[in-house]
C-alpha cells in the first residue's frame, strides 16, 4: 500500500484515484443514489434542460439523464472488469501453457495471437459482433477475445525467460513437475506487469464497449450504456445538447481517470516498464 501514497505524489495520481473510486462507488451504489429509475419513461418531459428536478436534464423519452448516467457507470465498469477478468485469465493461462508446450503448439498459439492482433481492435470487435449479434453477454465474451493476446504475450514471454533457468533445472532434478515449478516462479514476476496492463486496458475496453453501443451493436437499449446515451444525444443533437454533453463527459472522465491510474501505477511499481508499455 505504499504504492498508494507514492501515487498521490504524482500530479494526476490523486485525481485518478479519486475519479476511479468515485466511479466504483457510483456503480456499486447505483440503485441507492439514482434519483429516478433508469427506465422511468415520461414522454411529457422529453429533452428538458437541467433543472432542480432533473439535475442534468432529460432525454428524448423523458428519462432522467443523471440516473441513466449512474446506471451507465454500472454497465461500463461491470463490462470492462468482466472483460479484463476473462481475457486476463484466458490469456495468462494460454501464454504460460504455450511456453511450456512442445514447439509446434507454442508456434500455433503465437500464430493465433498474431492473427488476432493483425486486426485493429475495433474492427475485430465489429466483425465478431456482426456474426454473433449484439447483446450484453455477447459483448463481454467477444471483446474478451480481442484482449487475450495482450496478456498472453506477456505471460508467455515471462515464462520463456524463466523456463530454462538453472534453478528450474535444479528443482526438476529434485523431482518437481515442470509446470508446477514454473508456475511457482512465474507468478510473482507476472503480477506486476499484468496488473498494470490490466489497468491500462480498462479505458480501452470502456471505449470499445461504448463505441459498439453507440453504433447500436453493443448493449441493447433500454439498458443504459453511456454509448447508447451518446448515440441518443447525437440523434437529437439539434434539439438538445445536454444528453450528448453529459454522456460524453462521463466517458471522458472514466477513461481519463483509469488511464492516469494505469500510468501512475506503472511508474510507481516499476519505472523501467515505461519503455515496455
Partner 1 sequence: MRSASLQMHLAFKLATAALAVAGSVVLLMALTRLIPGDPATVILGSRATPEAVAALNARIGLDKPLIEQVFAFFGRLVSGDLGEDVFNGRPVLGLVLNALPNTAALAIAAMLCAVAIGIPLALLCARWPGGKADRLVAFLSVGFISTPSFVVSVFLLMVFSVHLRWFPVLGAGESGDLGDQLWHLVLPTAALAAGWVGYIARLLRSSLLEILGESHVRTLRAYGVSETKILMKYALKPAILPTLAVLGMGFGELLGGAVFAEVIFNRPGLGSLIYDAIRTRNYPVVQGGVFVIVMLYVLTNLIADLSQSLIDPRERARLTSGRGH
Interface residues with partner 1 (CB under 8 A) are: 11-12, 111-112, 114-116, 118-123, 126-133, 203, 207, 210-211, 214-217, 230, 233-234, 237-238, 241, 244-245, 248, 251-252, 255-256, 258-260, 263, 274
What's the CA gap between 26 and 31, in Å, rounded?
9
- Count of CA atoms in the C-beta half-sphere (13 A) of 81: 11
- In the bound state with partner 1, the residue whose beta carbon lies nearer, of 24 and 108, is 108
- In the bound state with partner 1, the residue whose beta carbon lies nearer, of 186 and 260, is 260
CB of 193 to partner 1, least distance (A): 19
Cell numbers describing residue 166: 538453472
- The alpha helices in 118-177, defined as continuous H runs, are 121-132, 136-163, 166-173
Closest CA to 224 of 41, 19, 16: 41
- In the bound state with partner 1, the residue whose beta carbon lies nearer, of 42 and 112, is 112
Mention every residue, 6+ apart, whose C-beta is less than 8 A from residue 224: 38, 39, 68, 69, 71, 72, 75
- In the bound state with partner 1, the residue whose beta carbon lies nearer, of 13 and 36, is 13
CB of 33 to partner 1, least distance (A): 24
Residues 18, 23, 246, CA angle at the centre, nearest 5°?
Answer: 105
- Across the chain, where does the E strand assignment appear? none
CB of 152 to partner 1, least distance (A): 16
Structural Rg of the chain based on CA atoms: 22
For the chain, how far is it from start to end, CA to CA, in angstroms?
A: 23
- In the bound state with partner 1, the residue whose beta carbon lies nearer, of 66 and 126, is 126
- In the bound state with partner 1, the residue whose beta carbon lies nearer, of 95 and 227, is 227
- In the bound state with partner 1, the residue whose beta carbon lies nearer, of 45 and 213, is 213
Residues 155, 157, 158, CA angle at the centre, nearest 5°?
Answer: 65
DSSP secondary structure, 87-102, as one string: HHHHHHHHHHHHHHS-
CB of 14 to partner 1, least distance (A): 14
Contact (CB, 8 A) for 143 and 81: no
CB of 131 to partner 1, least distance (A): 4
CB of 26 to partner 1, least distance (A): 19
CB of 245 to partner 1, least distance (A): 7
Amino acid at each position: 500500500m505504499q504504492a498508494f501514497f507514492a501515487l498521490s505524489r504524482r500530479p494526476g495520481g490523486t485525481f485518478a484515484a479519486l475519479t476511479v473510486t468515485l466511479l466504483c462507488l457510483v456503480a456499486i451504489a447505483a440503485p441507492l443514489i439514482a434519483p429516478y429509475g433508469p427506465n422511468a419513461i415520461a414522454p411529457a418531459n422529453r429533452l428538458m434542460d437541467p433543472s432542480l428536478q432533473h439535475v442534468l436534464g432529460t432525454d428524448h423519452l423523458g428519462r432522467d439523464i443523471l440516473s441513466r448516467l449512474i446506471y451507465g457507470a454500472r454497465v461500463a465498469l461491470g463490462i470492462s472488469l468482466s472483460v479484463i477478468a476473462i481475457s486476463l485469465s484466458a490469456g495468462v493461462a494460454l501464454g504460460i501453457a504455450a511456453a511450456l508446450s512442445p514447439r509446434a503448439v507454442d508456434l500455433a498459439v503465437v500464430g493465433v495471437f498474431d492473427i488476432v492482433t493483425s486486426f485493429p481492435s475495433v474492427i475485430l470487435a465489429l466483425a465478431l459482433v456482426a456474426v454473433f449479434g449484439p447483446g450484453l453477454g455477447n459483448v463481454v465474451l467477444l471483446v474478451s477475445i480481442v484482449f487475450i493476446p495482450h496478456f498472453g504475450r506477456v505471460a508467455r514471454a515471462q515464462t520463456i525467460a524463466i523456463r530454462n533457468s538453472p534453478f528450474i533445472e535444479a528443482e526438476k532434478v529434485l523431482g518437481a513437475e515442470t509446470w508446477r515449478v514454473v508456475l511457482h516462479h512465474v507468478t510473482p514476476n507476472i503480477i506486476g506487469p499484468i496488473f498494470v496492463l490490466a489497468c491500462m486496458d480498462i479505458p480501452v475496453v470502456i471505449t470499445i464497449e461504448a463505441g459498439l453501443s453507440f453504433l447500436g451493436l453493443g448493449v441493447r437499449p433500454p439498458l443504459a450504456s453511456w454509448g447508447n446515451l451518446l448515440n441518443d444525444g447525437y440523434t437529437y443533437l439539434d434539439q438538445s445538447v445536454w444528453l450528448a454533453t453529459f454522456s460524453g463527459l462521463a466517458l471522458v472522465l472514466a477513461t481519463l481517470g483509469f488511464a492516469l491510474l494505469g500510468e501512475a501505477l506503472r511508474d510507481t511499481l516499476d519505472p523501467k516498464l515505461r519503455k515496455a508499455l
